[in-house]
């Protein structure tokens, strides 16, 4: 699979002029940039569950839509809709395929960085119980604050995104949601629109007092087919820490992003 991906990237890179827009690649490293994008993010995880015998594939559909609300401010809509397929995550649990819960964020962000070059955004985040199977979601409605701060200097992007979600309604038979999400990230963009990045997408569950800490090592390439621009991204993920019900050790991420620059 990794060889096939490397061949695909090589062919695409060879078919596109070297001018493949470094600035556009840098915008993709900024979660609150004024760029419409639609990522399709595939995640493969093995050794899932208390006996480490399960497998899970999650396709996150993640449209990002900036909306100009004044001369100085944007509203950035970021949606995560997971499409999931899993098997044997608990003894006797069988297989499940369907939608997971949707996470909807809205960041109010200044259109220009601060005098010190810092870009930031804050707003609400919502948890919507859109899961089509009980084992694919929480069956809870939730809400809380979210924020992002970053700085781009030369080819580097360094920052962090965070949110906290509390459940406020839903099934009384399911555990409450009280989760903190932390995503520090570092990315390096080359003049030929390659991006090398590392991040964690850590979640702390305050109800169970457990961390889930996948660390991602990702390589991305921007390219163009006809008039349409894309980015493809791939790399391994390693679970530095995870609960007994989560995934263990290594997984893999492959993302296809459609871009709609202004």
What confidence category does residue 59 fall into, taking pLDDT thresholds of 50, 70 and 90?
A: very high
Task: Tell me: pLDDT of 126 over 50.
Answer: yes
- 27 has a pLDDT exceeding 80: yes
Is the pLDDT at 16 greater than 70? The verdict is: no
DSSP letter, residue 239: E
- The answer on pLDDT for 145 being more than 90 is yes
- pLDDT bracket for residue 174 (50, 70, 90): very high
How much of the chain, in percent, has pLDDT values that exceed 90?
81
Place of tokens 């809709």: 81
Task: Confirm if 77 and 102 have CB atoms less than 8 A apart.
Answer: no
150 or 51, which is more confident?
A: 150
User: Is the pLDDT confidence value at 10 over 80?
Assistant: no
- The band of 90, judged by pLDDT with boundaries at 50, 70 and 90, is confident
Query: How is the chain split into domains, by residue range?
Result: 2-260
Q: DSSP secondary-structure letter at 224?
A: E
64-68 vs 73-87, strand pairing mode? antiparallel
pLDDT, mean of residues 67-79: 97
**CATH fold of the domain at 2-260:** Porin (2.40.160)
Separation CA 257–CA 105 (nearest Å): 19
Name the one residue in this structure whose structure tokens are 């839509």. Answer: 65
Residue 42 is encoded by which pair of tokens?
Answer: 């595939």
In Å, how far are 80, 85, 102, 136, 247 from 99, measured between CA atoms? Answer: 11, 9, 9, 7, 19
Confidence of residue 262 (pLDDT cuts 50, 70, 90): confident
Cα–Cα distances (Å) from 61 to 40, 48, 150, 258, in that order, read 5, 22, 24, 11
Residue 5 scores a pLDDT above 50 = no
Q: How confident is the model at residue 18 (pLDDT cuts 50, 70, 90)?
A: very low
What pLDDT, on a 0 to 100 scale, did the predictor assign at position 3? 53
């Amino acid at each position: 699979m990794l060889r096939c991906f490397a061949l695909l990237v090589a062919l695409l890179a060879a078919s596109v002029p070297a001018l493949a827009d470094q600035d556009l690649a840098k915008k993709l490293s900024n979660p609150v940039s004024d760029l419409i994008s639609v990522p399709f993010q595939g995640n493969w995880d093995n050794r899932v569950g208390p006996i480490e015998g399960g497998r899970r594939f999650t396709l996150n559909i993640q449209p990002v839509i900036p909306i100009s609300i004044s001369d100085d401010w944007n509203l950035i809509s970021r949606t995560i809709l997971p499409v999931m397929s899993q098997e044997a995550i608990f003894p006797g649990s069988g297989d499940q395929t369907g939608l997971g819960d949707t996470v909807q964020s809205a960041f109010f962000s200044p259109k220009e960085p601060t005098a010190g070059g810092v870009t930031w955004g804050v707003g609400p985040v919502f948890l919507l119980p859109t899961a089509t199977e009980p084992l694919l979601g929480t069956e809870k409605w939730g809400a809380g604050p979210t924020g992002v701060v970053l700085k781009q200097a030369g080819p580097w992007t360094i920052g962090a995104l965070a949110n906290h979600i509390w459940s406020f309604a839903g099934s009384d038979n399911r555990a409450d949601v009280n989760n903190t999400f932390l995503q520090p990230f570092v990315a390096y963009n080359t003049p030929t629109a390659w991006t090398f990045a590392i991040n964690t997408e850590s979640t702390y569950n305050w109800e169970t007092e457990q961390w889930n800490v996948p660390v991602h090592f990702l390589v991305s390439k921007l390219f163009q087919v006809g008039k349409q621009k894309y980015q493809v991204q791939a790399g391994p993920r390693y679970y530095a820490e995870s609960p007994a019900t989560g995934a263990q050790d290594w997984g893999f991420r492959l993302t296809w992003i459609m871009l709609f620059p202004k």
